[in-house]
RNA sequence: GGAGGAAUGGGUGAGUGGUUGAAACCGGCGGUCUUGAAAACCGUUAGCGUCGAAAGGUGCUCGGGGGUUCGAAUCCCUCUUCCUCCGCCA
């Protein structure tokens, strides 16, 4: 959500910048609607001001014992017109709100202009993809062979795009969860939270998932409850409609949660294995900052996510997303892509975004220092990391010729073994 | 699931139809005093719209929504959340 006054006063420039992300601002409808809305408000206000004055006059007259029947019926009459105008204003405001809510955030100046992932810019690369002296397998071969990943039975229990982990597969997931939470908690200063995995539509509106992306979500039937598509939603909304003490910012939170996505429209993409699931687990990093802090904190947050891959020894590259590839709420996004030998490609494992005040304005997250005026905070978040894809990366990168998988040093205390071998 | 109670400004907490957008106290901010600080005293201290170049008007806001009324924090309906007791339960 944009600041209304700013948006209105800089309409041409804003529209030009949003065009770089392929969004066409309906400039004329916006102007026209805004004017109609303001005219209706002004008209209703005038009548209300008169009504209020009359009511006060009636109060005075009645105190003196005068008869006010006439005045009362006059005011009653005006009430009808006020009601009509209020109805009109309500309709216009709703229409206007919907229009404004659908407009994406402004990209940062440094964001490269582009139309697709091909235009993203690599900003750094870490680690060397390992040279195998055998043909590395994909996790969808390795996992079932080890007896730790069972997609057939998951399909029976639920359906396609769900996974059942056995034994070391389940333990690896749990080890990664604990490892990541400990790393971010101890080394990076994040406070661990465990939020609800079900949220209401107001929360989804706050983060920008609604109204536009209802189709990507699972909704609980006959309720206003939805399964979270990411911990970003409940964690960002922790402070919805609150004013934070600016002196205590940034606030850094991390959470491990399952994430549920309908993946509508992604049929045919990543159909094998567990790269794209309806349910996956993720450790999410979320920050609330003062406006002037967010750029720096965004860099830190991205580095915090990268630190997980470095600690595990997984090669990756970090991409600055172009205007056309960013999510609508973001003003700047880094994707971290891990090397997957089984696909012979870098694959997204984390997405770290600075939302500026866009989400804060929608969710009502303000900050205020002692004497200053309250202003909207900035919100940031990023995966630190997607656990399922980390699980995949470990299998594929650390596989041996015999099909076993060597556990990264840093993970061994969590896993309890230094190698995953086939389960009988 | 049943029976009750509650929701007011940053906090505590008055207020049951007419200058109450809201007392009082605490906190915050500014000032007087002081070498400095404390104490004391004085002042000040909501948000979002809308009109306006500004000054300043004006509207809405006392959990949300709706209603009654010339007029609602105050009366009615409804929803939500929290608390107490009973039952059930991981």
| Domain(s) of CATH 3.30.930.10: residues in chain A | 117-420
Q: Is the pLDDT of residue A258 over 80?
A: yes
Task: Verify if strand B has an atom below 7 Å from the CB of A45.
Answer: yes
How confident is the model over A337-348, as a mean pLDDT?
94
Calculate the dihedral angle through the C-alpha atoms of A346, A213, A386, A198, rounding to the nearest 10 degrees: -170
**A41 beta carbon < 7 A from strand B?**
yes
pLDDT digits 0-9 by tens, A20-55: 999 998 888 889 988 998 888 888 888 888 888 888
Task: Using the structure, give the distance in angstroms from the CA atom of A63 to the C1' atom of B60, rounded to a whole number.
Answer: 28
- What is the overall mean pLDDT for chain A? 90
The answer to whether the beta carbon of residue A372 comes closer than 7 angstroms to any atom of strand B is no
CA A241 → C1' B32, Å? Answer: 39
Q: Tell me the pLDDT tens digit for each residue of A182-225.
A: 999 999 999 999 998 988 888 888 898 887 888 889 988 877 88
Asked if A42 CB < 7 A from strand B, the reply is yes
Residue A371: the pLDDT is: 60
Pick A232 or A64 by higher pLDDT.
A232
Q: CB of residue A58 closer than 7 A to nucleic acid strand B?
A: yes
Any atom of strand B under 7 A from CB of A49? yes
Instruction: Locate CATH 1.10.287.40 in chain A.
Output: 26-101
CATH for A26-101 is 1.10.287.40
Chain A residues 331-350, Cβ below 7 A from strand B:
none
Nearest nucleotide, CA A73 to C1': B70
pLDDT of A281: 96
ipTM over 0.85 threshold = no
> Which residues of A are known catalytic residues?
261, 276, 348, 351, 389
**Cβ-based contacts (< 7 Å) between A 225-264 and strand B:** 243
A52 touches strand B (CB under 7 A): yes
Q: Residue A265: pLDDT above 80?
A: no
| A370 CA: nearest nucleotide by C1' | B28
Say which CATH topology domain A117-420 has.
Answer: BirA Bifunctional Protein; domain 2 (3.30.930)
- Give the pLDDT confidence score for residue A313 in this predicted structure: 96
Dump pLDDT digits (tens) for A279-305. Answer: 999 999 999 998 889 999 999 999 999
Which pLDDT value is given to residue A66?
73
Strand B bases, protein C-beta under 7 A: 10, 18-19, 28-30, 47-51, 57-60, 69-71
Q: What percent of chain A has pLDDT over 70?
A: 99
A412 Cβ within 7 A of any nucleic strand B atom: no
The pLDDT assigned to A75 comes to 83
CA of A177 to C1' of B9 (A): 43
């Amino acid at each position: 959500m944009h600041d209304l006054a700013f948006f209105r006063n800089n309409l041409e420039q804003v529209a030009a910048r949003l065009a770089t992300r392929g969004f066409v601002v309906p400039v004329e409808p916006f102007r026209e609607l805004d004017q109609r809305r303001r005219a209706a408000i002004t008209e209703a206000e005038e009548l209300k001001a008169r009504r209020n004055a009359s009511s006060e006059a009636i109060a005075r007259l009645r105190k003196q014992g005068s008869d006010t029947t006439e005045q009362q019926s006059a005011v009653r009459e005006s009430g009808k017109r006020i009601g009509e105008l209020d109805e009109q204003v309500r309709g216009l405001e709703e229409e206007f709100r919907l229009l404004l809510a659908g407009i994406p955030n402004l990209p940062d100046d440094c964001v490269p202009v582009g139309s697709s992932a091909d235009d993203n810019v690599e900003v750094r690369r870490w680690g060397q993809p390992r040279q195998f002296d055998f043909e590395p397998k994909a996790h969808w071969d390795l996992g079932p062979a080890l007896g730790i990943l069972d997609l057939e039975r998951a399909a029976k229990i639920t359906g396609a795009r769900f996974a059942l982990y056995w034994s070391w597969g389940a333990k690896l997931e749990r080890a990664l969860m604990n490892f990541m939470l400990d790393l971010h908690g101890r080394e990076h200063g994040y406070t661990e939270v465990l939020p609800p995995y079900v949220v209401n539509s107001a929360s989804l509106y706050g983060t920008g998932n609604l109204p536009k992306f209802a189709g990507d979500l699972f909704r609980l039937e006959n309720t206003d409850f939805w399964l979270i598509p990411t911990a970003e939603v409940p964690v960002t909304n922790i402070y919805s409609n609150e004013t934070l003490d600016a002196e205590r910012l940034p606030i850094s939170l991390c959470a491990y949660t399952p994430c549920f996505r309908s993946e509508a429209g992604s049929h045919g993409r990543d159909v094998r294995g567990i790269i794209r699931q309806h349910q996956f687990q993720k450790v999410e990093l979320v920050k609330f900052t003062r406006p002037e802090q967010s750029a720096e904190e965004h860099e830190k947050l991205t580095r915090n996510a990268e630190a997980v891959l470095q600690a595990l020894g997984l090669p990756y590259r970090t991409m600055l997303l172009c205007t056309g590839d960013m999510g609508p709420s973001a003003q700047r996004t880094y994707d971290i892509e891990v090397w997957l030998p089984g696909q012979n490609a870098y694959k997204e494992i984390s997405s770290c975004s600075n939302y500026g005040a866009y989400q804060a304005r929608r969710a009502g997250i303000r900050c205020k220092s002692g004497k200053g005026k309250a202003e909207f905070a900035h919100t940031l978040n990023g995966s630190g990391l997607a656990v399922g894809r980390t699980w995949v990366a470990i299998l594929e990168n650390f596989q041996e010729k015999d099909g076993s998988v060597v556990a990264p040093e840093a993970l061994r205390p969590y896993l309890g073994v230094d190698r995953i071998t086939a389960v009988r």
